[in-house]
Amino acid sequence: MGGRNYARSVAIYLEVHPDNPQPRSIRQIADVVRAGGLIAYPTDSCFALGCQMGNSDSLESIRDIRKLDPGHHFTLVCRDFAQLGQLVKISNSVYRLIKAATPGPYTFVLPATREVPRRLMHPRKRAVGVRIPDHRVAQALLAELGEPLLSSTLLLPGEPEPMTSGQQIKQRLDHQIDAVIDSGDCGTEPTTVVDLSQDEPQILRIGAGDPSRFE
Tell me: the pLDDT tens digits for 151-167? 999 999 999 999 899 99
Q: Are 91 and 166 in contact (CB under 8 A)?
A: no
- Write down the pLDDT at residue 8: 60
All residues at 6 or more sequence positions from 192 whose CB lies less than 8 Å from its CB, including other chains: 105, 106, 107, 203, 205, 206, 207, 208, 209, 210, 211
Nearest to 50, CA basis, from 61, 38, 34: 38
Mean pLDDT for 72-77 is 92
- Give 79's pLDDT tier (boundaries 50, 70, 90): very high
Whether pLDDT at 9 is above 80: no
- Give 4's pLDDT tier (boundaries 50, 70, 90): very low
Mean pLDDT for 11-34 is 96
Q: Are 214 and 203 in contact (CB under 8 A)?
A: yes
Compute the mean pLDDT over every residue in the chain, rounded to the nearest whole number: 92
Check whether domain 12-214 has CATH 3.90.870.10, yes or no: yes
- Write down the pLDDT at residue 192: 97
The rounded distance, in Å, linking the Cα atoms of 176 and 192 is 27
Q: Are 151 and 175 in contact (CB under 8 A)?
A: no
- Write down the pLDDT at residue 7: 52
State the pTM of this model: 0.93
Whether pLDDT at 123 is above 90: no
- Give 212's pLDDT tier (boundaries 50, 70, 90): very high
